[in-house]
């Protein structure tokens, strides 16, 4: 177990330990007392006990991809799990056991090539399983296959007291319930996830794409919303406003990614979009051979390393005029590397969810990923996001934990019943607030947790 203490380490060593694995280069001005690089479950338990000994809090970093850098906290011992990477696969049973810092690309690189299986992890290749699954997991084809956390059959945890606990529907069931949707407020440190896998559709992994000038925004957006509810149930559907690589014109990109068992099935699945697409696309392709590996490459280009980020999101009311609500967000991006995203979530959003903390959803998921390079653009880009969200949130039912920053605004992340139960479970398992939890403004939420209420800014 490697420990870097702020008081004794040289500045460069401490800074690398503090933020070297933080994806967002808009670095936080928060300073842990120490950073522990754990490489085993025993290291994690020892780090929690070290925090108890020093009467300080515990923060956890899995992949370091949190936009708000939740892992970097004052008066804490940061447990960095970057060196704790293990994967075990039982292909006959379709089960994997993976540590939290394993990324979707990590595990699928093994699963797809060696076992013909996959796990619907995060779209960005470097998102760690820990944060992704705790916040629910809006993974591949979520609109049909459901939330990735629904495929967590069990997990191993180090509690706030430094004890080991196995959690499933029968054993420590309240922690198991909380782990599927608590986000950074989970009152323990996950050391291993036990996951149900799905077959990898190598031959039927195909995509269709349509790129339109932004002047076609309303026609194209209304088309994609109209066809989504009844579209093929193995196909992911997204609309993205961005500047295509090498171009100065803002465009609306519609992407269908289908995962069928054969190329013929994929073609049948994608045909309704091809047959009904509006005219005017400047680039398009139909049922092109694709793969998870290729999608990870594209996602990495859209989310480049060594950049500054400001993200926010909302679930838009099902009965809202979505193209009108999102028009400004999609047509006024503040930087050429930024993008706005709409995911179709119907039919997943229309079914009853399993009994778990995750409970916030709608037919329309919207997110802003504002990306830039120069610190001088910080205020302008952040102000643009705030301005957009002040208007959009009036039409929202709540937000997704993964693309949120609790320091900036309050909203709803669960239904009221689940929110109350979750905060009670947190206080039961961590009555002193040892685990840092939700990073709100001033980092004062403590054992109270989040209020789970809209903040309608004027």
* Token pair of 3 as six digits: 């420990």
Nearest Cα to Cα of residue 195 among 118, 101, 114: 118
CATH architecture of the domain covering 2-80: 2-Layer Sandwich (3.30)
pLDDT band at 455 (very low <50, low <70, confident <90, very high): confident
Pairing of strands 117-118, 95-98: unpaired
The predicted-structure confidence for 190-246, as pLDDT tens digits, reads as follows 999 999 999 999 899 999 999 999 999 999 999 999 999 999 999 999 999 999 998
Cα 1 versus chain centre, distance: 28
Contacts with 251 (C-beta within 8 Å, 6 or more apart), sequence order: 211, 212, 213, 214, 241, 242, 243, 244, 282
Task: Report whether 402 contacts 70 (CB < 8 A).
Answer: no
What CATH number should be reported for the domain whose range is 205-398? 3.40.462.20
Q: Please say whether the beta carbons of 389 and 422 come within 8 A.
A: no
127, 121 contact by CB (below 8 A): yes
Tell me which of 3.20.20.70, 3.40.50.10860, 3.40.50.720, 3.30.465.10 is the CATH number of domain 87-199: 3.30.465.10
Task: Say if residue 444 is exposed, middle or buried (CB neighbours under 10 Å; 0-12, 13-18, 19+).
Answer: exposed
List, for residues 345-369, the tens digit of each pLDDT value: 999 999 999 999 999 999 999 999 9
pLDDT for 213: 98
State the chain's mean pLDDT as an integer.
97
Q: Is the pLDDT of residue 187 over 50?
A: yes
- Count the alpha carbons within 13 Å of 354 in the hemisphere toward its beta carbon: 17
**pLDDT score, position 454:** 85
Tens digits of per-residue pLDDT, 44-62? 999 999 999 999 999 999 9
Instruction: Give CA angle at 402 (326, 366), nearest 5°.
Output: 10
Higher pLDDT, 454 or 446: 446
Nearest to 345 by CA among 386, 323, 388, 316: 316
Q: Confidence band (pLDDT; 50, 70, 90) for 456?
A: low
Cα 337 to Cα 210: distance, rounded to the nearest angstrom: 19
- Whether 87-199 shares its CATH topology with 205-398 is answered no
Are the C-beta atoms of residues 174 and 241 closer than 8 Å to each other?
no
The answer to whether 189 touches 79, Cβ cutoff 8 Å, is yes
| Residue 399: φ, ψ to 5° | -145, 165
Count Cβ neighbours within 10 Å for each residue of 77-109 and write b for 16 or more, e otherwise: bbbbbbebbebebeeeeebbbbbbbbbbbbbbb
Question: How many other β-carbons are positioned within 10 Å of the β-carbon of residue 22?
Answer: 18
**Of 305, 322, 409, 421, nearest to 362 (Cα)?**
322
Task: Please answer whether residues 393 and 409 qualify as being in contact, where contact means their C-beta atoms are separated by less than 8 angstroms.
Answer: yes
Q: Rounded distance, CA 85 to CA 148, Å?
A: 20
Q: Round to whole Å and give the CA distance between 368 and 345.
A: 17
CA distance 410 to 184: 15
pLDDT at 272: 98
By the 8 A CB rule, do 37 and 82 touch? yes
**pLDDT tens digit string along 395-432?**
999 999 999 999 999 999 999 999 999 999 999 999 99
- The domain locations on the chain are 2-80, 87-199, 205-398
Q: Is the pLDDT of residue 458 over 50?
A: no
Tell me: pLDDT of 290 over 80. Answer: yes
């Amino acid at each position: 177990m490697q420990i870097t203490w702020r008081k004794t380490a040289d500045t460069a060593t401490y800074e690398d330990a503090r933020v070297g694995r933080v994806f967002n280069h808009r670095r936080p001005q928060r300073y842990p007392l120490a950073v522990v690089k754990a490489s085993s479950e025993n290291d994690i338990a020892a780090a929690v006990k070290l925090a108890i000994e020093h009467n300080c809090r515990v923060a956890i970093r899995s992949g370091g991809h949190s936009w708000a850098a939740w892992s970097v906290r004052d008066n804490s011992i940061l447990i960095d799990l970057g060196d704790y990477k293990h994967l075990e696969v039982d292909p006959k049973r379709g089960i994997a056991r993976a540590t939290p810092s394993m990324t979707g690309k990590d595990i699928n690189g093994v699963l797809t090539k060696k076992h013909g299986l996959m796990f619907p992890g995060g779209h960005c290749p470097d998102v760690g399983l820990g944060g992704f699954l705790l916040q629910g997991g809006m993974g591949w084809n979520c609109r049909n296959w459901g939330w990735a956390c629904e495929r967590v059959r069990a997990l191993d945890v180090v509690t706030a007291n430094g004890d080991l606990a196995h959690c499933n529907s029968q054993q420590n069931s309240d922690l198991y319930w909380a782990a599927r949707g608590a986000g950074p407020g989970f009152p323990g440190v996950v050391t291993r996830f036990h996951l149900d896998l799905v077959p990898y559709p190598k031959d039927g992994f195909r995509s269709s794409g349509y790129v339109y000038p932004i002047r076609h925004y309303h026609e194209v957006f209304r088309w994609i919303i109209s066809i989504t509810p009844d579209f093929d149930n193995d196909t992911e559907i997204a609309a993205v406003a961005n500047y295509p690589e090498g171009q100065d014109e803002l465009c609306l990109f519609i992407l269908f990614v289908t995962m069928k068992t054969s190329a013929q099935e994929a073609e049948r699945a994608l045909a309704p979009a091809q047959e009904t697409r509006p005219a005017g696309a400047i680039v398009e392709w139909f049922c092109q051979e694709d793969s998870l590996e290729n999608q990870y490459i594209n996602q990495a280009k859209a989310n480049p390393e060594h950049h500054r980020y400001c993200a926010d999101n909302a679930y838009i009311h099902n009965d809202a005029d979505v193209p009108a609500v999102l028009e400004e967000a999609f047509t006024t991006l503040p930087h050429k590397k930024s993008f706005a995203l709409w995911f179709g979530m119907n039919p997943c959003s229309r079914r009853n969810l399993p009994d778990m903390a995750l409970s916030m959803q709608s037919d329309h998921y919207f997110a802003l990923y504002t990306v830039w390079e120069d610190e001088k653009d910080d205020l302008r880009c952040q102000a643009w996001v705030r301005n957009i969200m002040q208007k959009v949130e009036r039409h929202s039912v709540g937000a997704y934990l993964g693309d949120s920053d609790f320091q900036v605004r309050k909203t709803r992340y669960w239904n009221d019943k689940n929110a109350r139960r979750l905060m009670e479970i947190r206080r039961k398992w961590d009555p002193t607030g040892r685990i840092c939890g939700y990073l709100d403004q001033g980092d004062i939420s403590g054992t109270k947790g989040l209020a789970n209420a809209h903040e309608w800014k004027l």
